Amino acid sequence: MVDQEDEDLEKIKRKKLEEMMKSISDRTEKKLPIQASGKPFDLTDATFKKFVEDNSLSVIDCWAPWCGPCRFVSPVVEELARDYAGKISFGKLNVDKNQRVAAQYGIRSIPTLLVFKERKLVDQIIGAMPRQRLEPRIISHL
């Protein structure tokens, strides 16, 4: 009896794994944006370039955990990611852990938001600001 339960459990696991792999494959083939969940995607030096290339309009929040103004901007970025899901892709890049991208874009003050449209940097928003000031700067690129 136990052997049959183990076999059934393994079949369920295998089927679920196949479904997950197919979902990933389908998303890759259709070139869907990485971020479709309405939440900012955690980026690294290794994933940054692909994120920008795969999304027609992307906003990357460059931040650090010790930065007070970054903690002010973070919930605003999360709200915007939720409200503009499917239109604008949002990412978060910890500059302490990902110094290559920070150096590449000359980020010396945080928070800094990098706005990319069609793989080109079109805006750089430096400093903390409320949603009322931040949102128009971002959506002007839609």
* Dihedral (CA of 112, 83, 92, 102) sign: negative
Alpha-carbon distance 16 to 95, whole Å? 36
Residue type, 111: P
**Backbone Cα Rg of the chain:** 19
Tokens describing residue 51: 């994120």
Please indicate whether residue 62 is annotated as part of the active site: no
Q: Which residues contact 87 (CB under 8 A, 6 or more apart)?
A: 57, 142
Q: Which of 52, 67, 114, 134 is catalytic?
A: 67
Residue 51's nearest CA partner among 70, 32, 26 is: 32
Tokens describing residue 4: 């049959």
Please indicate whether residue 67 is annotated as part of the active site: yes
Q: Which of 52, 59, 60, 70 is catalytic?
A: 70
Q: Which residues are catalytic?
A: 67, 70
